Amino acid sequence: RKEVEQDPGPFNVPEGATVAFNCTYSNSASQSFFWYRQDCRKEPKLLMSVYSSGNEDGRFTAQLNRASQYISLLIRDSKLSDSATYLCVVNAAGGTSYGKLTFGQGTILTVHP
Amino acid sequence: NAGVMQNPRHLVRRRGQEARLRCSPMKGHSHVYWYRQLPEEGLKFMVYLQKENIIDESGMPKERFSAEFPKEGPSILRIQQVVRGDSAAYFCASSRGTGGPGELFFGEGSRLTVL
């Protein structure tokens, strides 16, 4: 079983749609959780951290369920510029190796006019 | 402020040759991480270095791969006797080491193609 699993998609949605991505992780000792965005042939960039209480940043809402080891990302009012690969990322190491991240395979999103 | 700088951006090597990838962290950052992204796969952690020290190399292949981060100069990921399976994007990331994982910044990557 992969440490971080995502539905690879692709998700093809029209502008203005709401789309949700899910992710599960296998290591119950995981400490930090993130969503990154990666544009084609570019470096990954942090989109947002994910907290148990849930957090929102504009059109983006992230949720974490530690009991189910499940992470979600909701994008409302999709824009063409949201087209990218969304990476679910987990940090299990903690301590001094907090930059040792485990990435999911990524979910491809294409927003069309 | 310059971000994480990686070079070369693209590198082509024939089987059996050596590849050297360089990474200059952001100013003020002393922690460097290398990740590899194979085609159609997610990024995989390779190694974590601080100046003159390898902290965690649990993701490095046992043979042909090595990394260093000298006191002066960039971090270098070295791949000896490259094989076709080494073709991938290699990303470097840096941090100050005092914040959390959210303060990890990635370079644009070096794309290695092995013919």
pLDDT for B75-113, tens place per residue?
999 999 999 999 999 999 998 875 565 678 999 999 999
CB atoms < 10 A from the CB of A96, how many? 13
What is the per-residue pLDDT for B59? 93
B107 close contact with A: CB closer than 8 A:
yes
Partners of residue B100 in chain A, C-beta under 8 Å: 32, 98
Closest chain A residue to B42, measured at CA: A105
CB atoms < 10 A from the CB of B60, how many? 18
Q: Which one is predicted more confidently, B97 or A83? A: A83
Residue B23 β-bridge partners: B6, B75
Closest chain B residue to A49, measured at CA: B102
**Three-class DSSP category at B50:** strand
What is the per-residue pLDDT for A87? 95
Does residue A96 register a pLDDT over 80?
Answer: no
Would you state the structure tokens that stand for residue A25, as one six-digit string?
A: 């992780």
Q: Is residue B44 within 8 Å of residue B109, measured between CB atoms?
A: no
d(CA B42, CA B65): 20
